[in-house]
A and B are shown apart, each in its own frame.
Chain A
Amino acid sequence: DQQVKQNSPSLSVQEGRISILNCDYTNSMFDYFLWYKKYPAEGPTFLISISSIKDKNEDGRFTVFLNKSAKHLSLHIVPSQPGDSAVYFCAATTAGNTPLVFGKGTRLSVIA
């Protein structure tokens, strides 16, 4: 059973527009959520996170929104830039030293 789902395997966006990447989860025990960015043949890079006690966290061009009742979170990138083209992974975890549970990723292509 996949606890973290990214239902869109790919997304194309024009440069300068907003990119919205979505993530759904099934485990109500998750209380911390993270987004990672990954280029081919590299390890994932931490982007932004959000605790379950918040519904929004912003860092520069990146904003993560959390809707606990819907068990849904999204990452907004605005404005999108060609350098944002990568695979984005959503991850979730519970309190304590438990490993992150990852979604399958969404490949974002920002077209100039």
Chain B
Amino acid sequence: GAVVSQHPSWVICKSGTSVKIECRSLDFQATTMFWYRQFPKQSLMLMATSNEGSKATYEQGVEKDKFLINHASLTLSTLTVTSAHPEDSSFYICSARGRLGIYEQYFGPGTRLTVT
């Protein structure tokens, strides 16, 4: 149980275009989803927290107009990188926390974004 999927697993896009990444909890309802970014050889950086049906809470330094997060249902959250630039190239990982437990977060496999 507690499976989280992400789509796509990798994407290459041109500078200035937008990219949408989907995160789904497959076998549980995720009341809260989190979006992380990982740079090479660095830790996971929390970008935002989203609760189903409400606006996402962004961490300091994360541009909410650039990284649009939507958590429209208990099983789906999306991250849209708008007007992508090469510096947005990174590994994006989502995680979900549901009614299975209060503390554990279950992570998706990640999405490698490359902006050319």
Contact = CB atoms under 8 A, between A and B. Distances in A.
Question: Is chain B a partner of chain A in the same complex?
Answer: yes
Contacts of A96: 102
B43 A44 contact: no
B52 to A, nearest CB: 12
A97 B91 CA distance: 24
Given A44-B93, A99-B49, A34 B44 contact: no
Interface of B: 2, 4, 6, 31-32, 34, 42-44, 46, 49, 51, 91, 93, 95, 97, 102-110, 112
A93 B2 CA distance: 19
Instruction: Give the interface SS of chain B, mostly helix, strand, loop or mixed.
Output: strand
Contacts, number: 53
B43 A43 contact: no
State the majority secondary structure of interface residues on A.
Answer: loop
Contacts of B95: 43-44
A interface bracket (residues with beta carbon within 8 Å of B): 20 to 34
Interface stretch (A21-29, A60-68, A77-85, A101-109): A101-109
The 7 closest A-B pairs by CB, nearest first: A43-B107, A104-B43, A32-B103, A44-B107, A43-B109, A43-B110, A43-B93
